[in-house]
Amino acid sequence: MKPVIFGLSGPVLTPDERTFFAAVDPAGYILFKRNIVDRAQVRALTDSLRDLSGRADLPILIDQEGGRVARMRAPEWPEFPAGPAFDALYEIAPISAIEAAKANAQAIGLMLAEVGITVDCLPLLDVAQADTTEAITTRALGSEPLRVAAMGRAILDGLRAAGVVGVVKHMPGHGRAKVDTHYHLPTVTASDAELAIDLQPFVALKGAPMGMTSHIVFEAWDRERPATLSPVIIEEIIRRRIGFDGLLMTDDIDMKALSGTAGDKAAGAIAAGCDLVLDCWARMDEMVDIAGRLGEMSDVSRARMDRAMATVAGVEAEGDMAALIAKRDALLALV
């Protein structure tokens, strides 16, 4: 098994993808809007991926946060609010905000589980600052670390109740980035003491089953390499200081924050200590390059993945989506 999560080009596997994936055996897959038509089609696609891999616990990922980051959309599926809606409620009613965040996540999880998606790249634990890039502020749970952690835990719990694994992101924190990593490489000049604030939500949720790195240079820790490619940040900050021992994947390595070939970036991330590479765009030449540069998934990484997926093994999805959405909306209406 290769330590990579690949994207797919369309709503069904192409013959070339089927042949390539069968030979390479990637650790998992991630779905985007281009892969999604309706319930029956998505379920057939996820079933085909499980059949191809031969693994019932195959990680099939999606970014279904709510707000602008949503791959499954109306009219086929409900719209969901993004993080700031819950942060606003927390200002006046913290317990209600936590309940609303959990109900919202559980409803999202039920929607995903129905079509065979097993992992949601949520929650964001990034602590927003006054000058944080809009790419994060429109999605973040707030600027107070313990508040972010409390709602992040509720989101993880809600997803798990529906049988879906959550992913905490973007380690060790994206809140001080002033530019969007989709297009630029941010450099953060904050001191180690200042960055301790950004770590707090991740420390509080260090037992999360999965985490995702950020493509950001933190000068206090590694002046040369972004977190995704930094052995210092992954080992010293994420693994030791935060204490995270879950499955650690990269953010999408196609983002312009990283330079080099797809194979170079993938190999660099694994060498730095990431368990998995996330490559989203299903470009066959790049996937071939990545597969050729990566060895087999390590025993340690495989154990982390198995442990993460075991957190939802046999979970009977709880709750009624309509009732959960109604509960969330009633609570959000308090603002």
Q: Is 222 among the residues known to form the active site?
A: no
State yes or no: is 182 an active-site residue.
Answer: yes
173: left (phi over 0), alpha (psi -120 to 50) or beta: left
Q: Which of 63, 222, 251, 279 is catalytic?
A: 251
154 in Cβ contact with 138 (< 8 Å): no
**Of 165, 121, 168, nearest in space to 312 by CA:** 165
Neighbours of 288 (CB within 10 A): 14
The one-character DSSP state at 235 is I
Pairing mode of beta strands 2-7, 64-66: unpaired
Report in angstroms the alpha-carbon separations of 255 from 28, 57, 74, 189, 191: 19, 28, 27, 21, 26
Comparing CA positions, the residue from 175, 146, 161, 159 lying closest to residue 66 is 159
The enclosing H or E element of 299 equals helix 299-310
Residue written as token pair 């079509």: 115
User: Phi, psi (5° rounding) for residue 137?
Assistant: -65, -30
Contact indicator for 309, 118 with CB cutoff of 8 Å: yes
Provide the residue type at 223 as one letter.
Answer: R
Please pick, among 25, 157, 182, 184, the residue that the annotation labels catalytic. Answer: 182
Q: What residues contact residue 202 under an 8 Å CB cut-off, 6+ apart?
A: 125, 168, 171, 172, 173, 211, 238, 242, 244
Provide the annotated active-site residues. Answer: 182, 251
